[in-house]
Amino acid sequence: MIGVQDKDSCGKSSLCETPQACREGSRATRGKRSLARKSLAVLRTYLLFVFISWFFSSSLFHHSKKQH
């Protein structure tokens, strides 16, 4: 099979079997990306929780609730 020349994020050259293999990267790289996506999802969930907690505890919410 014809190899495809590719450079990784450090600029090092590697020989991939297929263009798809070059795009996907190594198992370790995919694992790091997966961990990064999970960490980002946890962070977004936490920030949403903090915002909702702040909103419901703010005087703005209580003030608008009394008007109705």
Which pTM does this prediction carry? 0.49
Report the pLDDT value the prediction gives residue 64, as an integer from 0 to 100: 59
Q: Which residue has the higher pLDDT, 47 or 68?
A: 47
Mean pLDDT along residues 9-37: 73
Report the pLDDT value the prediction gives residue 56, as an integer from 0 to 100: 85
Both ends of the chain: CA-CA distance in Å? 72
Could you give the CA distance from residue 31 to residue 33 in angstroms, rounded to a whole number? 5
- Please answer whether residues 3 and 16 qualify as being in contact, where contact means their C-beta atoms are separated by less than 8 angstroms: yes
Q: With a cut of 50, say whether residue 1 has pLDDT above it.
A: no
Q: Which residues contact 19 (CB under 8 A, 6 or more apart)?
A: 4
Could you give the CA distance from residue 45 to residue 43 in angstroms, rounded to a whole number? 5
